[in-house]
Amino acid sequence: MVVSIEREGDIAVVTVDNPPVNALGQALRQGLWDAVGALDADPAVRAVVLVCAGRTFIAGADVTEFGKPPVPPHLPDVVDRIEGAAKPWVAAIHGSALGGGFEVAMGCRFRVAVEGASVGLPEVTLGIVPGASGTVRTPRLAGSEAAVDLVTTGRPVKAAKALALGLVDAVVAGDLRGGAVGFARAALAKPLPPAVSARPVASPDAAWWEAQRAAVAKRAKGEVAPLRALDCLRVAAERPFAEAMAHERATFLDLRGSDQAAALRHIFFAERAAPRPAHLAGATAHPIRSAAVIGGGTMGAGIAAALRDAGIPVVLIERDDEAVARGLANLRGIFEGGVKRGKLTEAQAAERMAGVTAGSDYAALADTDLVIEAVFEELSVKRAVFDRLGQVCRADAVLATNTSYLDPRLIAEGLPNAARFIGLHFFSPANVMKLLEIVPTPETSIDTLATGFALARSLGKIPVQAGICEGFIGNRILKRYRAEAEALVRQGVAIAAIDAAMRADGFAMGPFEAQDLGGLDIAFLQREGARAAGQHVPETLGDVLVRAGRKGQKTGGGWYDYAPGDRKPVVSDRVAALLAERITGRSEMDGGAIAAHLTAAMAEEGKAILAEGIALKASDIDLVEVHGYGFPRWQGGPMFKAELGR
């Protein structure tokens, strides 16, 4: 039974139990529909409390039903029926009341939340708008301004804020069901407030709406749903309830079948499948109670910060006292940045630092569960580190490398018990970026592999398993993307036109401005290394620039010029002169065609990666691109986009 009814005197308690997240599938909608009828017909019941079993209140519509034709009773009708019930309903919220779940709660006459619960309308993150009155009832509870924030960002708010905004009527500590029943009894002693649909909403003026539109459009970068949601909110503020409902429903049904919604659902399910892959079902992850990071540079400090954020004590090893001090300063800088941005309190930052022991003596690693190496990208340096680790660490300690391009098999050569060795490829900044490529060698045990996934879960990262090749999944596709972008430049497409095209397509940056930010020298040195080792690596345009001293923003110029202290790229005559003899044509390719060409090239590389078994599934490649390389989420990643064929 997804819906059951109990009685506490004159209060009925309706319990929803539809694991895992009480999503509003057809059976639940029908169950709620029937419950209203049954309770309306029961003269002994004076009010109804709606609670949910399990980890959360109703988390929304059942997203798995979105690809299929809607089946009655439809959710807006269920919400209206609850609102129109002869007895007042009280939603008792724990966990998250999201999307359709919050819409059901708004159909109730009252909402009571337990401390720590949250409410929200995340529909835009799935490429749709709320479809059961979210855009129409929310402004009637909290006003248009709060509603715009909630609906166009999709970000939920915690119970205390929801109370302040008027989204819930009370917050209870402890026993939610008891608290909600008590609330219902107290409410019956007073005149009932009007149903939410009957409450007035004051519309801000046209200039305010236009300003909102400009702000949302800027954030949306090509994503459709937030703007359509804003339109719904404006209609809700300016037109009668029924008209606004019809407008919202039409928008919802229109977007539900859109490519963007399909793409966002694809990423939603890929993200949820990633942390627990089926092939690791029988494996046992090692517990990670302590960790060490070797190297406190850009990556080492970021990885140490990520570990501390997850509450794991960290030993940081550097080469000598001076480097130890630098590493600690890097780490402190990350936490201080967190304080400046309001993400951490001073006390939390201090607690993060207190959990770090730093030094240059490997003896400190004798009892560490996990060691992550992030030293210079040089095989000999890394090998020397793993030699030491092999001597000092426990035989069951998991030993990981963060190498970007080196072959993990070569790094692990000679390591006693290589079954506990693995590649854990973090992305910069490692405490922020969600992606973690997990790279087993042929000798890595399944338990070590499972430990990598368990670590990702505890760090809140999205793990993707990658096989061994140059650049694994992400950097290999990046290399191809950059090569294709350079090929367009050789054909005469302007550098700035390529960057503009990718930004217009939803990327945060184009390929050339991104290289200027990160520095052209790293990839250059890698190519030079391969050339020195006898490999044939054709000259790139980037090589020409680096040889002319143009390594990016840090040298005042790369693909663009930069005024001192200014990050704004300026088209460079010097670059035009340096590359002139290598540019063979003149092309007026339009932005759409440029973006389509470059994303298709990514997908083509992705297909090769899949065919070689470097990635286990296409959706993993999409996750890598979305979470590691800024591929627009609402396009679903290069593989999804290619599959869609548009």
State the binding partner of 224 from ligand NAI, ligand 3HC, none, CB within 5 to 8 A by kind.
none
Per the CB < 8 A criterion, the answer to whether 58 and 120 are in contact is no
From candidates 18, 260, 403, 540, binder to ligand NAI by CB under 6 A: 403
- Closer residue to ligand NAI (CB): 103 or 437: 437
Footprint of ligand 3HC on 78-117 (CB under 6 A): 96, 98-100, 103
> Which position has the token pair 């109670």?
289
State the binding partner of 60 from ligand NAI, ligand 3HC, none, CB within 5 to 8 A by kind.
ligand 3HC
Report DSSP state, residue 61: B
- Does 16 interact with ligand 3HC (rule: CB under 6 A)? no
Query: What is the 3-state secondary structure of 154-216?
Result: CCCEEHHHHHHHCCCCEEECCCHHHHHHHHHHHHHCCCCCCCHHHCCCCCCCHHHHHHHHHHH
Q: Which range touches ligand NAI (CB under 6 A), out of 19-27, 29-37, 201-209, 420-428?
A: 420-428
**Joined tokens for residue 602:** 């990514």
- Closer residue to ligand NAI (CB): 156 or 296: 296
State the binding partner of 402 from ligand NAI, ligand 3HC, none, CB within 5 to 8 A by kind.
ligand NAI
- Does 495 interact with ligand 3HC (rule: CB under 6 A)? no
Alpha helices in 189-297 (DSSP H): 206-220, 225-238, 241-256, 259-273
- Does 150 interact with ligand 3HC (rule: CB under 6 A)? no
State the binding partner of 385 from ligand NAI, ligand 3HC, none, CB within 5 to 8 A by kind.
ligand NAI
Q: Is 74 a catalytic residue?
A: no
515: which residues sit within 8 A by CB, 6+ positions away? 482, 523, 542, 552, 558, 559
**Joined tokens for residue 375:** 């030293």
From candidates 2, 32, 48, 56, binder to ligand 3HC by CB under 6 A: 56
Least separation, in Å, of the C-beta of 537 and ligand 3HC? 43
Alpha helices in 41-112 (DSSP H): 75-83, 100-107
With residues binned 3-state (H G I as helix, E B as strand, rest as coil), the percentages for the chain, rounded to 5, are 50, 15, 35
Report DSSP state, residue 64: G
- Does 391 interact with ligand NAI (rule: CB under 6 A)? no
Least separation, in Å, of the C-beta of 82 and ligand NAI? 51
From candidates 7, 272, 289, 388, binder to ligand 3HC by CB under 6 A: 272
Per the CB < 8 A criterion, the answer to whether 331 and 374 are in contact is no
Report DSSP state, residue 138: H
Name residue 205's beta-bridge partners.
Answer: none
Least separation, in Å, of the C-beta of 271 and ligand 3HC? 8
Least separation, in Å, of the C-beta of 368 and ligand NAI? 15
Least separation, in Å, of the C-beta of 307 and ligand NAI? 15
243: which residues sit within 8 A by CB, 6+ positions away? 235
State the binding partner of 20 from ligand 3HC, ligand NAI, none, CB within 5 to 8 A by kind.
ligand 3HC
State the binding partner of 123 from ligand NAI, ligand 3HC, none, CB within 5 to 8 A by kind.
ligand 3HC
From candidates 319, 383, 531, 607, binder to ligand NAI by CB under 6 A: 319
- Does 21 interact with ligand 3HC (rule: CB under 6 A)? yes
- In the sheet with 157-158, reading across from the earlier edge strand, the strands are 96-98, 118-120, 157-158
Report DSSP state, residue 4: E
From candidates 31, 88, 130, 558, binder to ligand 3HC by CB under 6 A: 130
Instruction: Give the dihedral sign, CA 176/180/182/183.
Output: positive
CA dist., res. 481 & res. 487, Å (int): 10
> Which position has the token pair 């945060």?
508
- Closer residue to ligand 3HC (CB): 131 or 557: 131
Max intra-chain CA distance, the chain: 89
Least separation, in Å, of the C-beta of 375 and ligand NAI? 4
CA dist., res. 274 & res. 627, Å (int): 12
Least separation, in Å, of the C-beta of 320 and ligand NAI? 8
- Does 122 interact with ligand 3HC (rule: CB under 6 A)? yes
State the binding partner of 381 from ligand NAI, ligand 3HC, none, CB within 5 to 8 A by kind.
ligand NAI
- Does 294 interact with ligand NAI (rule: CB under 6 A)? yes
Exactly one of 266, 286, 425, 627 is catalytic; name it: 425
Neighbours of 55 (CB within 10 A): 13
Which of these, 362, 338, 360, 357, lies nearest to 349 by C-alpha position?
338
Which of these, 332, 378, 368, lies nearest to 529 by C-alpha position?
378
Give me the residues that bind ligand 3HC (CB under 6 A), please.
20-21, 23, 55-56, 59-64, 75, 96, 98-100, 103, 122-123, 126, 130-132, 134, 272
**Residue numbers annotated as active site:** 425
Give me the residues that bind ligand NAI (CB under 6 A), please.
294-300, 317-319, 323, 327, 374-377, 381, 385, 402-404, 425-428
